[in-house]
Structure 1
């Protein structure tokens, strides 16, 4: 009897902990990052919450805050992702703005292959309430 109670208590504690962890992140899709030095040819989002497997895509942007050409990407798993780093495919100068954006894996012909081109539907941007899930940083 004691074994069953201990097992049930352990299971309850694990479920409670998992629920609290999910509640702390509140399950909302998000991209978080800070201004950073990109002279090493990479850019990192500190955390990304994704609803499904997908991509962190690095777009050039400016004061208009419209996504421009893609200059890097990295794969994401569903759920919480920490310290997601993308290799930049072209030089980015100090002072330039980069949009770190959540993209999905849907619509492409190959799973695990980034197929998006600007304006395409394949592996396209994720939106919540018609707003892009992204953050903008400045390269140092």
Structure 2
């Protein structure tokens, strides 16, 4: 199964953003980045663990306020290169627990907070 993220625009006023389905090639993370019309991944505002394979209804608790109309990028990151397994260690631009890039492409989808 090819890695992918499936999610729709949603209400995040409860402090949670969800993906309907995420397929990961290995254990890792669904990471929520801020983004905008330029579609570049920005600061991380939440994350949730992923199991290898198909993950259904993956929910990430947001670590800061996200307003209605804000764009969020839900992206698959690996569990590679960090100091600890099971601890999300990525910071923007770092290699620890960084995004996966099959064929050089990020595995992600973008939604708009309602």
TM-score (norm 1): 0.81
Per the alignment, in what secondary structure is the counterpart of residue 136 of structure 1?
strand
Of 26, 30, 44, the match for 1:52:
26
1:39 pairs with 2:13: yes
Q: How far is 1:128 from its partner?
A: 1.5
- Counterpart of 1:64 in structure 2 is 38
Structure with more of its chain in helix, by fraction: 1
Bigger RCO of structures 1 and 2 (CA < 8 A, at least 6 apart):
2
State how far apart, in whole Å, the 2-side matches of 1:81 and 1:65 are: 24
Shift in Å, 1:129: 1.2
What's the offset of the Cα at 1:102? 0.1
Q: Distance in 2 between matches of 1:49 and 1:65?
A: 21
Tell me the number of residue pairs that the alignment of Structure 1 and Structure 2 aligns: 114
The structure whose Rg is larger is 1
SS in 2 for 1:132: coil
Q: Structure 2: give runs of 5+ residues left out of the alignment.
A: none
Where does residue 94 of structure 1 map in the other structure? 68
Q: RMSD in angstroms over aligned alpha carbons?
A: 0.3
